Amino acid sequence: MNDVASGMGRSSTLYRWFVSVKYLTYVLLSFNVYLFLEEELVSAAHSGLANFELASLIQLFSATLDTAAWVFLLLLFELETAVIPDDKLRGITKWSIHGVRLVCSAAIVSAFLGYVGEWGVFLHSDSLSVPACELVDNGWSVLVDFDAFTPLDSSNCAQLGPDTLHVTALSHVVSSPTAFESARDLALVDVLNAGTWILIVIALEVEVRLQLKGGLPRRLQWGLNASKVVFYLVLTAAAVYWGFEGEFLDFWDAALWLFAFFFIEMNVFEWQRELDHKAQ
Protein backbone atom coordinates (compact mmCIF):
# COMPACT_ATOMS: atom_id res chain seq x y z
CA MET A 1 0.00 0.00 0.00
CA ASN A 2 1.10 3.52 -0.60
CA ASP A 3 0.05 6.59 1.31
CA VAL A 4 0.05 10.17 0.06
CA ALA A 5 3.56 9.56 -1.24
CA SER A 6 1.96 8.55 -4.51
CA GLY A 7 0.55 12.06 -4.85
CA MET A 8 3.48 14.00 -3.39
CA GLY A 9 6.51 12.00 -4.39
CA ARG A 10 8.62 10.37 -1.70
CA SER A 11 11.56 12.71 -2.27
CA SER A 12 9.53 15.93 -2.17
CA THR A 13 9.82 18.43 0.67
CA LEU A 14 6.02 18.38 1.09
CA TYR A 15 6.03 14.62 1.57
CA ARG A 16 8.85 14.79 4.14
CA TRP A 17 6.92 17.45 6.07
CA PHE A 18 3.77 15.33 5.88
CA VAL A 19 5.53 12.29 7.33
CA SER A 20 7.31 14.32 10.01
CA VAL A 21 4.08 15.94 11.23
CA LYS A 22 2.27 12.62 11.12
CA TYR A 23 4.77 10.80 13.29
CA LEU A 24 5.18 13.75 15.64
CA THR A 25 1.41 13.53 16.20
CA TYR A 26 1.75 9.81 17.00
CA VAL A 27 4.53 10.56 19.51
CA LEU A 28 2.45 13.23 21.23
CA LEU A 29 -0.48 10.82 21.49
CA SER A 30 1.82 8.24 23.08
CA PHE A 31 2.93 10.83 25.64
CA ASN A 32 -0.73 11.48 26.48
CA VAL A 33 -0.89 7.94 27.89
CA TYR A 34 1.53 9.07 30.61
CA LEU A 35 -0.41 12.30 31.21
CA PHE A 36 -3.70 10.43 31.67
CA LEU A 37 -2.03 7.87 33.94
CA GLU A 38 -0.60 10.65 36.10
CA GLU A 39 -4.01 12.35 36.33
CA GLU A 40 -5.89 9.14 37.12
CA LEU A 41 -3.40 8.02 39.77
CA VAL A 42 -4.15 11.22 41.67
CA SER A 43 -7.88 10.74 41.15
CA ALA A 44 -7.73 7.11 42.32
CA ALA A 45 -6.07 8.14 45.58
CA HIS A 46 -9.14 10.22 46.50
CA SER A 47 -11.88 8.28 44.75
CA GLY A 48 -13.22 6.61 47.86
CA LEU A 49 -13.75 3.26 46.15
CA ALA A 50 -13.75 0.50 48.73
CA ASN A 51 -12.19 -2.18 46.50
CA PHE A 52 -9.80 -2.33 43.59
CA GLU A 53 -11.04 -5.31 41.61
CA LEU A 54 -10.49 -5.48 37.85
CA ALA A 55 -13.76 -3.70 37.01
CA SER A 56 -12.94 -0.92 39.47
CA LEU A 57 -9.43 -0.52 38.08
CA ILE A 58 -10.78 -0.27 34.53
CA GLN A 59 -13.23 2.38 35.70
CA LEU A 60 -10.51 4.34 37.53
CA PHE A 61 -7.98 4.13 34.67
CA SER A 62 -10.36 4.08 31.70
CA ALA A 63 -8.74 7.08 29.96
CA THR A 64 -5.24 5.59 30.29
CA LEU A 65 -6.37 2.17 29.04
CA ASP A 66 -8.40 3.73 26.24
CA THR A 67 -5.59 6.00 25.01
CA ALA A 68 -2.93 3.27 25.15
CA ALA A 69 -5.11 0.82 23.21
CA TRP A 70 -5.96 3.45 20.61
CA VAL A 71 -2.28 4.32 20.11
CA PHE A 72 -1.53 0.67 19.33
CA LEU A 73 -4.56 0.48 17.04
CA LEU A 74 -3.52 3.69 15.28
CA LEU A 75 -0.06 2.28 14.62
CA LEU A 76 -1.62 -0.91 13.23
CA PHE A 77 -3.74 1.14 10.83
CA GLU A 78 -0.59 3.02 9.83
CA LEU A 79 1.21 -0.26 9.10
CA GLU A 80 -1.67 -1.61 7.04
CA THR A 81 -2.50 1.51 5.08
CA ALA A 82 0.90 3.12 4.58
CA VAL A 83 3.87 0.92 5.48
CA ILE A 84 3.40 -2.77 4.61
CA PRO A 85 2.87 -3.57 0.91
CA ASP A 86 -0.36 -5.38 0.00
CA ASP A 87 1.43 -8.55 -1.06
CA LYS A 88 3.13 -8.78 2.37
CA LEU A 89 -0.11 -8.56 4.34
CA ARG A 90 -0.63 -12.29 4.54
CA GLY A 91 0.42 -15.31 6.57
CA ILE A 92 2.02 -14.67 9.96
CA THR A 93 2.19 -10.90 9.35
CA LYS A 94 -1.54 -10.68 8.73
CA TRP A 95 -2.49 -12.86 11.69
CA SER A 96 -0.07 -11.12 14.03
CA ILE A 97 -1.65 -7.76 13.21
CA HIS A 98 -5.11 -9.24 13.65
CA GLY A 99 -4.13 -10.74 17.01
CA VAL A 100 -2.80 -7.44 18.38
CA ARG A 101 -5.83 -5.63 16.98
CA LEU A 102 -8.14 -8.07 18.80
CA VAL A 103 -6.38 -7.36 22.11
CA CYS A 104 -6.56 -3.60 21.50
CA SER A 105 -10.24 -3.83 20.57
CA ALA A 106 -10.99 -5.73 23.78
CA ALA A 107 -9.17 -3.04 25.77
CA ILE A 108 -11.10 -0.27 23.99
CA VAL A 109 -14.46 -1.94 24.68
CA SER A 110 -13.40 -2.45 28.32
CA ALA A 111 -12.47 1.23 28.57
CA PHE A 112 -15.83 2.18 27.05
CA LEU A 113 -17.58 0.12 29.72
CA GLY A 114 -15.35 1.86 32.27
CA TYR A 115 -16.60 5.23 31.00
CA VAL A 116 -20.18 3.99 31.30
CA GLY A 117 -19.47 2.86 34.86
CA GLU A 118 -17.89 6.20 35.68
CA TRP A 119 -20.94 7.99 34.32
CA GLY A 120 -23.09 5.75 36.50
CA VAL A 121 -21.22 7.04 39.56
CA PHE A 122 -22.69 10.49 38.93
CA LEU A 123 -26.27 9.42 38.36
CA HIS A 124 -27.10 9.12 42.07
CA SER A 125 -26.44 11.23 45.12
CA ASP A 126 -27.97 11.93 48.55
CA SER A 127 -28.12 15.05 50.65
CA LEU A 128 -25.39 14.98 53.28
CA SER A 129 -27.02 14.14 56.60
CA VAL A 130 -24.57 16.11 58.77
CA PRO A 131 -22.62 19.36 58.24
CA ALA A 132 -19.55 18.73 56.10
CA CYS A 133 -17.20 20.15 58.75
CA GLU A 134 -18.14 17.32 61.11
CA LEU A 135 -16.52 14.87 58.69
CA VAL A 136 -13.08 16.54 58.70
CA ASP A 137 -10.21 14.18 59.62
CA ASN A 138 -12.36 11.13 58.86
CA GLY A 139 -10.90 10.33 55.44
CA TRP A 140 -13.46 12.21 53.33
CA SER A 141 -12.72 13.95 50.02
CA VAL A 142 -14.39 16.73 48.05
CA LEU A 143 -15.23 16.36 44.38
CA VAL A 144 -14.01 19.64 42.87
CA ASP A 145 -14.20 18.64 39.20
CA PHE A 146 -14.56 15.54 37.08
CA ASP A 147 -11.83 13.10 38.19
CA ALA A 148 -10.47 15.78 40.53
CA PHE A 149 -10.67 15.39 44.30
CA THR A 150 -9.17 17.14 47.29
CA PRO A 151 -9.14 16.06 50.96
CA LEU A 152 -11.95 17.51 53.05
CA ASP A 153 -10.49 19.95 55.58
CA SER A 154 -11.56 22.81 57.82
CA SER A 155 -11.01 25.32 55.03
CA ASN A 156 -12.99 23.82 52.17
CA CYS A 157 -15.73 22.32 54.35
CA ALA A 158 -16.83 25.84 55.29
CA GLN A 159 -17.37 26.58 51.59
CA LEU A 160 -19.85 23.73 51.25
CA GLY A 161 -23.38 24.83 52.01
CA PRO A 162 -26.44 23.01 53.39
CA ASP A 163 -27.15 21.51 49.96
CA THR A 164 -23.89 19.48 50.00
CA LEU A 165 -24.24 16.08 48.34
CA HIS A 166 -22.85 12.69 49.25
CA VAL A 167 -21.75 10.87 46.08
CA THR A 168 -23.35 7.55 47.03
CA ALA A 169 -21.31 5.38 44.63
CA LEU A 170 -18.13 6.66 46.31
CA SER A 171 -18.03 5.86 50.00
CA HIS A 172 -16.36 9.00 51.40
CA VAL A 173 -16.86 11.75 48.80
CA VAL A 174 -18.95 14.92 49.08
CA SER A 175 -19.70 17.50 46.42
CA SER A 176 -21.51 20.73 45.71
CA PRO A 177 -24.49 20.35 43.34
CA THR A 178 -22.69 22.39 40.69
CA ALA A 179 -19.54 20.23 40.73
CA PHE A 180 -21.64 17.06 40.74
CA GLU A 181 -23.69 18.12 37.70
CA SER A 182 -20.56 19.20 35.83
CA ALA A 183 -18.89 15.85 36.54
CA ARG A 184 -22.00 13.98 35.38
CA ASP A 185 -22.10 15.92 32.09
CA LEU A 186 -18.38 15.42 31.46
CA ALA A 187 -18.73 11.69 32.17
CA LEU A 188 -21.56 11.48 29.62
CA VAL A 189 -19.43 13.23 27.00
CA ASP A 190 -16.69 10.63 27.68
CA VAL A 191 -19.20 7.87 26.95
CA LEU A 192 -20.41 9.50 23.72
CA ASN A 193 -16.84 10.22 22.60
CA ALA A 194 -15.61 6.68 23.27
CA GLY A 195 -18.65 5.12 21.60
CA THR A 196 -18.24 7.30 18.52
CA TRP A 197 -14.58 6.34 18.16
CA ILE A 198 -15.60 2.67 18.24
CA LEU A 199 -18.04 3.32 15.38
CA ILE A 200 -15.27 5.03 13.40
CA VAL A 201 -12.86 2.14 13.81
CA ILE A 202 -15.60 -0.28 12.70
CA ALA A 203 -16.09 1.80 9.55
CA LEU A 204 -12.33 1.84 8.91
CA GLU A 205 -12.09 -1.91 9.50
CA VAL A 206 -14.79 -2.47 6.87
CA GLU A 207 -12.87 -0.27 4.43
CA VAL A 208 -9.51 -1.97 5.06
CA ARG A 209 -10.94 -5.50 4.91
CA LEU A 210 -12.81 -4.86 1.66
CA GLN A 211 -9.79 -3.09 0.17
CA LEU A 212 -7.72 -6.19 0.83
CA LYS A 213 -10.38 -8.31 -0.88
CA GLY A 214 -10.25 -6.29 -4.07
CA GLY A 215 -11.96 -2.98 -3.54
CA LEU A 216 -14.91 -1.18 -2.02
CA PRO A 217 -18.27 -0.83 -3.83
CA ARG A 218 -18.84 2.82 -4.68
CA ARG A 219 -22.25 3.04 -2.97
CA LEU A 220 -20.90 1.50 0.24
CA GLN A 221 -17.93 3.89 0.13
CA TRP A 222 -20.29 6.87 -0.04
CA GLY A 223 -22.33 5.51 2.87
CA LEU A 224 -19.25 4.98 5.02
CA ASN A 225 -17.89 8.43 4.19
CA ALA A 226 -21.20 10.10 5.09
CA SER A 227 -21.35 8.20 8.37
CA LYS A 228 -17.79 9.16 9.26
CA VAL A 229 -18.51 12.83 8.59
CA VAL A 230 -21.26 12.66 11.22
CA PHE A 231 -18.99 10.78 13.62
CA TYR A 232 -16.15 13.29 13.25
CA LEU A 233 -18.59 16.17 13.83
CA VAL A 234 -19.67 14.51 17.10
CA LEU A 235 -16.02 14.15 18.14
CA THR A 236 -15.30 17.77 17.24
CA ALA A 237 -18.27 18.89 19.34
CA ALA A 238 -16.93 16.85 22.28
CA ALA A 239 -13.50 18.48 21.92
CA VAL A 240 -15.05 21.96 21.83
CA TYR A 241 -17.13 21.15 24.92
CA TRP A 242 -14.03 20.02 26.84
CA GLY A 243 -12.28 23.21 25.78
CA PHE A 244 -15.07 25.42 27.11
CA GLU A 245 -15.22 23.37 30.34
CA GLY A 246 -11.51 23.95 30.94
CA GLU A 247 -10.59 20.26 30.53
CA PHE A 248 -7.38 21.01 28.65
CA LEU A 249 -5.93 17.48 28.58
CA ASP A 250 -9.18 16.03 27.17
CA PHE A 251 -9.39 18.85 24.62
CA TRP A 252 -5.73 18.46 23.61
CA ASP A 253 -6.04 14.67 23.34
CA ALA A 254 -9.24 14.89 21.27
CA ALA A 255 -7.67 17.43 18.91
CA LEU A 256 -4.60 15.23 18.43
CA TRP A 257 -6.73 12.17 17.71
CA LEU A 258 -8.76 14.03 15.11
CA PHE A 259 -5.50 15.19 13.53
CA ALA A 260 -4.06 11.66 13.62
CA PHE A 261 -7.10 10.14 11.95
CA PHE A 262 -6.90 12.79 9.26
CA PHE A 263 -3.64 11.08 8.25
CA ILE A 264 -5.23 7.62 8.41
CA GLU A 265 -8.13 8.82 6.26
CA MET A 266 -5.62 10.27 3.79
CA ASN A 267 -3.86 6.89 3.68
CA VAL A 268 -7.14 5.08 2.96
CA PHE A 269 -8.18 7.66 0.33
CA GLU A 270 -4.88 7.38 -1.54
CA TRP A 271 -4.98 3.60 -1.28
CA GLN A 272 -8.49 3.53 -2.78
CA ARG A 273 -7.41 5.87 -5.56
CA GLU A 274 -4.42 3.65 -6.32
CA LEU A 275 -6.62 0.56 -6.53
CA ASP A 276 -9.11 2.37 -8.79
CA HIS A 277 -6.24 3.42 -11.05
CA LYS A 278 -4.95 -0.18 -11.28
CA ALA A 279 -8.44 -1.46 -12.07
CA GLN A 280 -8.79 0.85 -15.10
pLDDT, one tens digit per residue, over 231-279 is 999 999 999 999 999 889 899 999 999 988 887 777 776 666 665 566 5
Quick one: average pLDDT of 15-26? Answer: 83
> What local confidence, expressed as pLDDT, does residue 182 receive?
94
pLDDT digits (tens, 9 = 90+) for 143-194: 988 878 889 998 899 888 889 999 998 878 999 999 999 999 999 999 999 9
Please tell me which residue, 221 or 231, carries the higher pLDDT value.
231
Q: Is 133 in contact with 165 (CB distance < 8 Å)?
A: no
**How many Å apart are CA 271 and CA 80, to the nearest integer?**
10
C-alpha 153, offset from chain centre: 34
Least confident segment among 35-49, 50-64, 106-120, 263-277? 263-277
- Taking 60 as the threshold, does the pLDDT of residue 6 lie above it? no
* pTM exceeds cut of 0.75: yes
Q: Is 250 in contact with 194 (CB distance < 8 Å)?
A: no
| 149 Cβ contact partners less than 8 Å away, ≥ 6 residues apart | 42, 43, 45, 46, 47, 48, 141, 142, 143, 173
> What local confidence, expressed as pLDDT, does residue 3 receive?
46
- Taking 70 as the threshold, does the pLDDT of residue 280 lie above it? no
pLDDT digits (tens, 9 = 90+) for 83-140: 777 677 777 887 888 888 889 889 999 999 999 998 998 999 999 988 999 999 888 9
